[in-house]
């Protein structure tokens, strides 16, 4: 959570809040009420739920607690759209979010308008603590914008008609740049977010990490390289896989990245498209990334190696989300953008970690178990949201996000 002394001046903060809220609405504009109500699997959420939950966040943590006289739009919504905050009481089961046919999408839009108007009216009188919660809420909503896109991709992928969410520009013809390995720094380095500026609590405190001699790939693994892994029997060779990964492959019948349709096409937010062999491979699990690295005679970078490698890169560059529409990884790429990159590090607390105070402290710390860290940003990450210290995290089998891999090896 942002600290009071790092909160930006009120006008820029208000403008960023309005822009963030508007982008979420724009993303949902192409959807019907039916589109927005579907939950494709338990870990994903309906599009309507994302619009509602982010509104609940601002209504609950900012308006209810810091705007005297504010009245909830509908008190029943708190039960429906709380995600996992135990401190806020009982909530609707996550696996049944797709059963919430009411309120309608238009009802949720009306709620958003009510909350946005109240936020705008309250700005002149908000305390530094409340402004810090707005800063947190902006970054929280940006996370849900990415989830919105990945969840609607999963939703449309379940439809045999393979509908398109939006159009995409035709891919340019690129040949993948030759893969090379760049030496990383050795010895003690500092990782984690600095004390000033916004960062999630899990990114702090900044601390030292020891790096052993290593090298990191100049770019992520491409679809073309992954196709060689498939053709070479990578999914049928148990010695390449972690035990849990091999069990997962056998149990789920995994034979290619999620959304591949054979080895020449894949399903995207723009419908079925030819596979761009020079683009970074996406929608792979940690298990798959680890197996590919072993097949390639390499390994996954540690979180510290990746963060130090990217420390001088501009996180605002690369193929990231700028406006509503379809997105897809594409070549050539920067360190940030296209796909989140799996690391070999588990999502664990840094030395001296302390969660944010209050119920919002449930935001990250409670998930520091059975999760792996991803670094960078993807084509669905709102530009300006990520940074080198950012710690994305998912379970090892998750692959409906835009997740890829950058190799590393010992030097």
- Same domain, residue pair 267 and 363: yes
Rounded CA-CA distance 114/347 in Å is: 37
Rounded CA-CA distance 254/265 in Å is: 17
Q: Which CATH number belongs to the domain containing residue 359 in this structure?
A: 3.90.1580.10
Residue recorded with tokens 């406006």: 323
Q: What's residue 172's pLDDT? A: 67
- Same domain, residue pair 93 and 186: no
Ranges of residues in the chain whose predicted pLDDT is under 50: 1-11
Rounded CA-CA distance 302/299 in Å is: 9
- Same domain, residue pair 185 and 153: no
Tokens of 143: 């996370």
Domain count, the chain: 2
Q: Is residue 25 exposed (0-12), middle (13-18) or buried (19+ Cβ within 10 Å)? A: middle
Q: What's residue 5's pLDDT? A: 37
Rounded CA-CA distance 191/54 in Å is: 30
Contact 17, 140 (CB under 8 A): no
- Same domain, residue pair 130 and 190: no
- Same domain, residue pair 151 and 231: no
Contact 166, 30 (CB under 8 A): yes
- Same domain, residue pair 372 and 405: yes
Rounded CA-CA distance 35/39 in Å is: 9
Tokens of 336: 């940030």
- Same domain, residue pair 298 and 362: yes
**Cα dihedral 390, 391, 396, 400 in deg (nearest 10):** -40
Closest CA to 134 of 325, 47, 261, 4: 4
- Same domain, residue pair 241 and 367: yes
- Same domain, residue pair 213 and 345: yes
Report pLDDT digits (tens) over 66-115: 999 999 999 999 999 999 898 899 999 999 999 999 999 999 999 999 99
Give domain status of residue 80, yes or no.
Answer: yes
Give domain status of residue 32, yes or no.
Answer: yes
Q: Which residues pair with 207 in a beta bridge?
A: 191
Rounded CA-CA distance 41/21 in Å is: 26
Q: What's residue 188's pLDDT? A: 98
- Same domain, residue pair 125 and 189: no
pTM, two decimal places: 0.95
- Same domain, residue pair 218 and 366: yes
Report pLDDT digits (tens) over 345-362: 999 999 999 887 777 776
Q: Domain residues for 111?
A: 4-157
Measured between alpha carbons, how far is residue 360 from residues 47, 55, 80, 84, 116 in Å?
A: 23, 15, 18, 10, 20
- Same domain, residue pair 349 and 200: yes
Contacts of 298 (CB under 8 A, 6+ apart): 217, 407, 408, 409
């Amino acid at each position: 959570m942002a600290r009071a002394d790092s909160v930006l001046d009120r006008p820029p903060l208000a403008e960023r809040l309005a822009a963030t809220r508007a982008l979420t609405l724009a993303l949902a504009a192409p959807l019907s009420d039916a589109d927005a109500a579907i939950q494709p699997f338990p870990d994903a959420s309906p599009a309507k739920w994302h619009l509602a939950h982010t509104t609940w966040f601002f209504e609950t943590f900012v308006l209810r607690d810091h705007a005297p006289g504010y009245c909830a739009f509908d008190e029943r919504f708190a039960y429906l759209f709380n995600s996992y905050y135990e401190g806020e009481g009982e909530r609707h089961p996550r696996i049944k979010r797709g059963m919430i046919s009411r309120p309608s999408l238009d009802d949720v839009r009306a709620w958003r308008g009510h909350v946005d108007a109240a936020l705008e009216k309250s700005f002149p009188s908000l305390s530094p603590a409340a402004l810090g919660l707005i800063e947190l809420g902006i970054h929280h909503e940006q996370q849900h914008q990415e989830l919105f896109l990945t969840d609607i991709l999963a939703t449309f992928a379940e439809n045999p008609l393979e509908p398109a969410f939006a159009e995409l520009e035709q891919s340019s013809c690129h040949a993948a740049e030759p893969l090379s390995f760049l030496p990383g720094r050795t010895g003690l380095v500092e990782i984690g977010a600095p004390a000033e500026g916004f960062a999630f609590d899990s990114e702090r405190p900044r601390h030292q990490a020891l790096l052993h001699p290593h090298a990191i790939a100049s770019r992520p693994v491409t679809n073309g390289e992954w196709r060689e892994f498939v053709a070479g029997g990578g999914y049928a060779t148990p010695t390449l896989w972690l035990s849990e990964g091999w069990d997962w492959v056998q149990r789920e019948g995994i034979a290619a990245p999620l959304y591949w349709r054979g080895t020449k096409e894949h399903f995207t937010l723009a419908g079925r498209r030819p596979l761009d062999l020079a683009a970074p491979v996406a929608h792979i699990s940690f298990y798959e990334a680890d197996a590919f690295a072993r097949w390639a005679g390499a390994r996954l970078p540690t979180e510290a190696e990746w963060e130090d490698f990217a420390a001088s890169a501009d996180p605002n560059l690369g193929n990231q989300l700028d406006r509503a529409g379809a997105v897809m990884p594409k070549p050539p790429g920067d360190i940030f953008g296209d796909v989140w990159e799996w690391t070999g590090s588990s999502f664990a607390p840094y030395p001296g970690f302390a969660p944010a105070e209050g119920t919002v402290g449930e935001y990250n710390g409670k998930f520091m178990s059975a999760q792996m860290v991803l670094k960078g940003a993807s084509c669905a990450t709102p530009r300006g949201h990520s940074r080198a210290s950012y710690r994305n995290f998912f379970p090892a089998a998750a692959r409906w996000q835009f997740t890829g891999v950058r190799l590393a090896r010992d030097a």
